């Protein structure tokens, strides 16, 4: 260690423990990470505990700039120590640092009025989103009526493209996740059924849970995160690049060209993806049941039609179509609300995914309550 290294030496004097500062307490010397960490540790020890320092001696410092003075002032708790020995120039620098160092603002305590106004602002934002979504649904219904009257003018090219990107490209990931969920679920259920010797009932539990609930919900959550965010990002980029303004100038209906094909493609794709995910999950559960409990695939397949009624599959398919419509509507809603900047695009995409997943869970809960006696 050379003489220029910033350091702190504690000494015991008749007036108490004193801290003697030596070296260069400057920005260049304090830029060394090791020197900075050592000084931080020494200053913390000197402020509390049995080694607390009563006096500070700065007169042997080779150099003291504003960085070193700020470090000392912060370590003193932004108040002058009881005893300080310093040269006039050093004291003047410390006084200047103390004068221009702002104390941290006290924590702000919210009043009842502020809480009320914040709650009112939240309610107004929710109502604004609800109004925008309702307007989007109304325009979608009008566009569907126009499509039924003039099917030759429909955006079928866009529709087929969205079918491929939303449905076909999502088959591998949905199958993989569904298969793994089925394996995990079967292993967990088998541990409990073995305790009661009820091994054959794994077919009933897996069939009901996967076909009626987990398959559609799992597929919807995956598509909400995958395709819902894509829809928002695509329309949001069109806002950033002013393509939406160009469509308005050219008289092209945004709802008919952007919202309608995406909603139709999602409504048609989601039931198919739901069945695909459910089949993959059932395959994983069937293989895991064979390995963990000895329930053969032939027994599993022969028992499944008697254990699960066809109405469960019908309900799951209808529920998936509703999921798809809501995911597409939420994605288009947030995409059309994106402002022409990249920050708004990121925020809109994040909000779209979160809202879509929340809506899927809420709609699934509503279906579970309304159709609780169907297929059981």
- Per-residue pLDDT tens over the stretch 282-298: 999 999 988 888 888 88
Taking residues 11-21, what's their average pLDDT? 72
Question: What integer pLDDT is reported at residue 96 of this predicted model?
Answer: 81
Write down the residue that tokens 């092209």 correspond to. Answer: 252
Q: CA-CA distance, 323 to 254, in Å (whole number)?
A: 22
Sign of the Cα torsion 339, 345, 349, 355 reads negative
Query: Which range is least confidently modeled, 80-94, 218-232, 325-339?
Result: 80-94
Query: What are the C-alpha distances in Å from 157 to residues 71, 72, 154, 310?
Result: 66, 70, 9, 35
279 or 376: whose pLDDT is higher? 279
Q: CA-CA distance, 121 to 93, in Å (whole number)?
A: 48
Q: pLDDT grade, residue 330 (50/70/90)?
A: very high
**pLDDT tens-digit map of 107-160:** 677 788 888 888 998 899 989 989 988 999 999 999 999 999 988 888 889 899
Taking residues 186-192, what's their average pLDDT? 88
Taking residues 212-222, what's their average pLDDT? 92
Q: CA-CA distance, 292 to 327, in Å (whole number)?
A: 37
The residues pairing with 16 across neighbouring beta strands, listed in sequence order, are 13
pTM above 0.85, yes or no: no
Taking residues 74-84, what's their average pLDDT? 75
Number of C-alpha atoms within 13 angstroms, CB side, residue 116?
3
Three-state DSSP class for residue 86: coil
Query: Which range is least confidently modeled, 98-112, 318-332, 352-366?
Result: 98-112
Q: Is the pLDDT of residue 1 over 60?
A: no
Do 340 and 236 contact (CB within 8 A), yes or no? no
Q: Give the number of other CB atoms < 10 A from CB of residue 251.
A: 6
Write down the residue that tokens 């304090």 correspond to. Answer: 30
Chain mean pLDDT for the chain: 85
**Measuring CA to CA, which residue among 204, 200, 191, 220 is closest to residue 320?**
220
Q: CA-CA distance, 361 to 292, in Å (whole number)?
A: 31
268 or 102: whose pLDDT is higher? 268
pLDDT-above-70 percentage for the chain: 94
Q: Which two tokens stand for residue 296?
A: 């053969």
Please, where are the H alpha helices in the chain? 27-30, 33-47, 66-75, 88-100, 112-149, 156-166, 171-196, 202-208, 215-223, 229-240, 243-250, 254, 260-293, 297-307, 310-336, 342-370
């Amino acid at each position: 260690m050379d003489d220029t290294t910033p350091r702190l030496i504690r000494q015991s004097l008749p007036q108490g423990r004193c801290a003697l500062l030596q070296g260069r307490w400057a920005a260049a010397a304090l830029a060394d990470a090791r020197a900075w960490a050592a000084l931080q540790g020494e200053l913390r020890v000197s402020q509390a505990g049995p080694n607390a320092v009563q006096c500070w001696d700065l007169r042997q410092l080779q150099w003291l700039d504003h960085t070193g003075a700020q470090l000392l002032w912060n370590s003193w708790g932004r108040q002058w120590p009881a005893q300080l020995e310093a040269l006039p120039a050093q004291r003047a620098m410390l006084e200047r640092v103390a004068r221009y160092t702002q104390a941290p603002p006290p924590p702000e305590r919210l009043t009842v009025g502020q809480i009320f106004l914040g709650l009112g602002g939240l309610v107004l934002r929710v109502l604004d989103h609800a109004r925008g979504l309702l307007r989007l649904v109304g325009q979608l219904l009008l566009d569907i009526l126009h499509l039924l009257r003039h099917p030759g003018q429909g955006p079928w090219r866009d529709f087929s493209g969205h079918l491929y990107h939303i449905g076909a490209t999502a088959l591998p990931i949905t199958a993989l996740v569904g298969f793994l969920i089925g394996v995990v679920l079967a292993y967990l259920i088998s541990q409990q059924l073995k305790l009661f010797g009820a091994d054959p009932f794994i077919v009933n539990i897996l069939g009901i849970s996967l076909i009626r609930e987990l398959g559609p919900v799992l597929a919807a959550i995956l598509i909400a995160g995958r395709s819902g965010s894509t829809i928002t990002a695509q329309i949001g980029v069109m806002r950033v690049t002013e393509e939406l303004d160009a469509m308005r100038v050219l008289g092209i209906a945004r709802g008919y060209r952007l919202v309608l094909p995406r909603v139709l493609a999602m409504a048609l794709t989601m039931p198919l993806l739901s069945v695909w995910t459910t089949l993959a999950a059932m395959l994983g559960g069937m293989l895991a049941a064979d390995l963990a409990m000895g329930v053969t695939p032939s027994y599993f397949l022969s028992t499944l039609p008697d254990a699960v009624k066809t109405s469960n599959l019908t309900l799951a398919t209808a529920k998936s179509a509703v999921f798809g419509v809501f995911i597409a509507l939420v994605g288009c809603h947030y995409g059309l609300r994106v402002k022409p900047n990249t920050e708004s695009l990121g925020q809109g995409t994040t909000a779209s995914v979160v809202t879509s997943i929340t809506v899927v869970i809420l709609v699934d809960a509503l279906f579970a309550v309304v159709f609780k006696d169907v297929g059981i």
